[in-house]
Amino acid sequence: MLYAVTSLLMAASLRRRSLLSAGLLGALTTLTACGSSASPSTHAGHVRPRPTAVDPDTAARRQIGAAMWTLLAGYDNAAKPRADLRGGLAAQAAALGVSAPTPTPSAVAASPSAVTASASAVTASTSASASATASGSPAVGVRTSEASLASGEAGLVSLCSAALPTVSPALARLLASIGAGAAQRATQLGGHLPTPTPPGLDRLRPSAAELDACQASLAAEQATVYGYGVLGALLGGGPRAQATSDYQLHRARRDALDAVITSAGAAPHAAAAAYDLPFQVTDSSSARRLAALLEDRLAAVYANAVQAGANAFRADAAIQLRAAALRALSWGAAPTPFPGLPER
């Protein structure tokens, strides 16, 4: 019995639970933790009020939002205008709900190295790679290069990744998508992203929700493997080599998910014997379009897995989301500010 590839991939996306309720690198000032478990201290008979703890979601929005607005300033001063990429970043900043900071003379005149030093102070404890990136408001009379913009986008990827363990499930899903969109922009600018090290599925012990996410991801990978088997035969040269590489990658991911589910004592989702394709695939052009669509649908499945999981599982799903978004881009898909979030 045939099942539609697109339908299966969309059905594989986890049913979103009611989790929707609950700054280029770092802010220009160091974000310090607030709150203490110690008893209020007294001085001259007066009780010192206990500091109010900052909600992790609020802290992440402020830090990443400030980084976005700094990077937007870099786009506004770019040597080569990139309105298309700036527009995507602006949409992401709006989604976080953080207003633009009020410019100060020192911020406007700050050099890229000064901004980087400030960002390093914010992120040193969480992301060494992020703290090494350069970005921000350039010195007066100096235009921002595409290399600097790409470096800033890579830094945004790192910031989003560093925030994932502590934020709410709904915000984690959004930040994982924002990081994937930033990765697409960095690639378009000719930048190089560091290769992430997945936590390793074999060491994961999934919760019930994570196990459901594994089943959904497995079903999506099974359909994707089938699709690549069809489209690869219609390609030649470099594209065929790329399709072969992606096909093998998806087979490995499929097998890894199968093993995790089995080790958890559950029965892995059974693949269909064949799948209906969303459109006729008859030549190299339609084959490339199918590859882009498969990766786009897969990104949505992993975005939902980010929301369903925690800690290492969440980090692994975010890496898979970002990788799918980059593969979709390589197959000709249009870049998007929010890979894996069809509702946006």
What the chain holds in terms of domains, given with CATH numbers, is: 3-16+201-330 (1.20.1260.10), 55-167 (no CATH)
Contact partners, residue 253, CB within 8 Å, separation at least 6: 217, 221, 320
Residue 245 scores a pLDDT above 60: yes
Per DSSP, 109 falls in state T
Give the pairing type, strands 42-43 and 3-4: unpaired
At 269, the amino acid letter reads H
Q: What is the pLDDT of residues 73-121, one digit of tens each?
A: 999 999 999 999 999 999 999 999 987 776 554 443 343 333 333 334 3
Helix (H) or strand (E) holding 62: helix 56-76
The proportion of the chain whose per-residue pLDDT surpasses 90, expressed as a percent, equals 66
- Beta carbons within 8 Å of 212's beta carbon, 6+ residues apart: 14, 308
Both structure tokens of 252: 């490995």
Q: What is the pLDDT of residue 185?
A: 98
**249: which 2 tokens?**
């990658």
pLDDT at 174 over 60: yes
Whether 132 has a pLDDT exceeding 60, the answer reads no
CA dihedral 80, 81, 85, 91 (to 10 degrees): 150
Which strand (E) or helix (H) includes residue 105? Answer: helix 105-108
Q: How many residues does the chain have?
A: 344
Q: Tell me if residue 47 falls in helix, strand or coil.
A: strand
- Answer yes or no: is pLDDT of 295 > 90: yes
Q: What is the pLDDT of residue 50?
A: 67
**pLDDT of 237 above 70:** yes
